[in-house]
Amino acid sequence: MKKLNKITVQLVILFSLILALTKLAQADDHIAAHRHLADPATLVYNGRVYLYASNDDDNSDDKESGYKMKSIVCISSSDMKNWTDHGVVFEAPRDATWANRTWAPSVIARNGKIYLYFGNGGSGIGVVTASSPTGPFKDPLGKKLIDNQTPGVLPAKNMWLFDPMAFLDDDGQAYLYIGGNGEDNMRVIKLNEDMISVNGQATSFHVPSFFEASWMHKRDGNYYFSYSSNPKAEMRIDYMMSKSPTTGFVYKGVIGAQPPNNNNNNHHGIFEYKGKWYHAYHNRVVAIKKGIPPVYKRNLAIEELNYNADGTIAQVIYTENGVTQIGSINPYQRNEAETMQDQNGIMTKNTDDGGMQISGMKNNNWIKIQGVDFGKKGAKSFNARVSGLSSGTSLEVRVGSLDGKQIAKLVTSGNEAVGLQIQSGKAGIIQGKQDLYLLVSGSDTSAAIDIDWWRFQQR
């Protein structure tokens, strides 16, 4: 009897473990998790939402790495589930010769231009500009926009001059919020219409337990200043409200407690997209899962944000599955392979024409595209621009799950031309809204498949 109980307990533990790992594989509390990304800035532009992040892949895997980020990565989505990897859009000193760090960006669009503000570590703020949200970003000043000499920045005790937040008010006045490491170290300064020069001197308001990660947003005439509290206050995301962007702020409480699987610095963004509000943040779930020191290897995640009737913010409850999908993916148009909801073992790189592709997929590596709507007629064939297929390695297309119905398969007999080629195959009967898996399978262990894009033809 005792032996039976022991076996039962072991089985329960095994099943719970399998369940937990399956859930993690499907979870959405780590987006674009083929990279390590942190400090999300948000931009809603031409119907898409863009997230800009400190590139934690610039940091090494060891626990002594330190924050060495010197590039900014951009990802974007039109449905809040499938994210497109646009790669590194700004890098120092390549694109700003005076800078050697690019921490915690803030991005804003004005007069047809995109402005990206960043911390050169904790020692000043730079600004770079582009005509597209995905760059290329160029340095218009050749020096910092804000440093210790900027009027109103000093005096301050142990100021961290970083974590910019650019905010454009409805009356056309823009502001930059900066600073960290002390309740009286938050600074706000007006930006001129050119967005690359300041007007007047920085002012301040007292922020309880202020540590870093300033954010400003406005809703229904209320200004919300939110931030990461200090370690003593558990590095929560707290907020204050006012009827003015620069004064009169009153502490209102907690937007989000320390996120699960983070246990360290916290940094968030808030934005409205297609009628809903969202809270982007970072955690350390992927590094924890990989078993590497998590401090300098963060990942982005997202939750919906809700308001109470009086305009205060309902505290976010962090979940694994994050947000619901808005709309669906159209399989009958070209879909970039670097747009996905989840993946296993993939990397991305630039194509020769400046776009992006998935690269070096090995056997059992896959991407998942959520909510692909095949409609009533369904598909008759599938094609993709790929390289690296052989008689021993194929690209399978499955629906529902990794071992779900196989609806297409690309394979070549070998000797195919080197480089990306459009390959076609028949598609089995498939209709309605489905999750799609593109999976590399076969016996060739040296396989390294690249995928640029995929699409189906309608029946």
- Distance of closest approach, residue 304 Cβ to ligand FUB, in angstroms: 22
Minimal CA–CA distance to 369: which of 451, 284, 279? Answer: 451
Q: Which residues of 84-104 are buried (b: 16+ CB within 10 A; e: fewer)?
A: bbbbbbbbbeebbeebebbbb
> In whole angstroms, how close is the CB of 321 to ligand FUB at the nearest point?
24
Show the tokens assigned to 303. Answer: 């939750």
Closest CA to 74 of 119, 132, 123: 132
As measured in angstroms, the least distance from the Cβ of 178 to ligand FUB is 11
Decide if 207 contacts 180 (C-beta within 8 A).
Answer: no
Q: Measure the CA–CA gap between 145 and 166, rounded to whole angstroms.
A: 13
Residue closer to ligand FUB by CB (options 265, 387) is 265
Residue closer to ligand FUB, measured from CB, 39 or 79? 39
**Rounded to whole angstroms, what are the CA distances from 39 to 56, 58, 74, 139, 357?**
10, 14, 12, 21, 24
Kindly state the smallest distance separating residue 79's Cβ from ligand FUB, in Å. Answer: 27
Is 304 known to be catalytic? no
Give min distance, CB of 30 to ligand FUB, in A. Answer: 16
In the complex, least distance from residue 103 CB atom to ligand FUB, rounded to whole angstroms:
4
From the candidates 56, 91, 212, 338, which is the catalytic residue?
A: 212
Return the residue matching tokens 């990565």: 73
**Of the two residues 162 and 366, which places its CB atom closer to ligand FUB in the complex?**
162
CA distances from 277 to 181, 348, 398 (A): 28, 29, 33
Q: What SS3 state is found at 146?
A: strand
Distance of CA 297 to the CA centre of its chain: 13
Minimum gap (Å) between residue 364 Cβ and ligand FUB: 33
Query: Closer to ligand FUB at the Cβ: 87 or 180?
Result: 180
Q: How far apart are CA 424 and CA 415, in angstroms?
A: 16
Residues lying near ligand FUB in the complex (CB under 6 A) are found at: 38-39, 54, 67, 103-104, 119, 162-163, 212-213, 265, 267
What's the number of CA atoms in the CB half-sphere (13 Å) around residue 389? 22
Can 212 be counted among the known catalytic residues?
Answer: yes
Q: Hey, what's the torsion of the CAs at 319, 323, 328, 329, to 10 degrees? A: -70
φ/ψ (deg, to 5) at 231: -55, -35
In the complex with ligand FUB, the residue whose CB is nearer, 91 or 212, is: 212
Q: How far apart are CA 178 and CA 187, in angstroms?
A: 5
Between 37 and 316, name the residue whose CB sits nearer to ligand FUB: 37
Nearer to ligand FUB, 55 or 390 (CB): 55
Q: How far is CA 6 from the centre of its chain?
A: 44
Residue 435, SS3 per DSSP: strand
Between residues 52 and 162, which has the closer beta carbon with respect to ligand FUB? 162
Rg (CA), the chain: 24
Catalytic residue among 28, 29, 39, 435: 39
Contacts of 275 (CB under 8 A, 6+ apart): none
Q: CB of 101: closest distance to ligand FUB in angstroms?
A: 9
Question: What amino acid positions are annotated as catalytic residues?
Answer: 39, 212
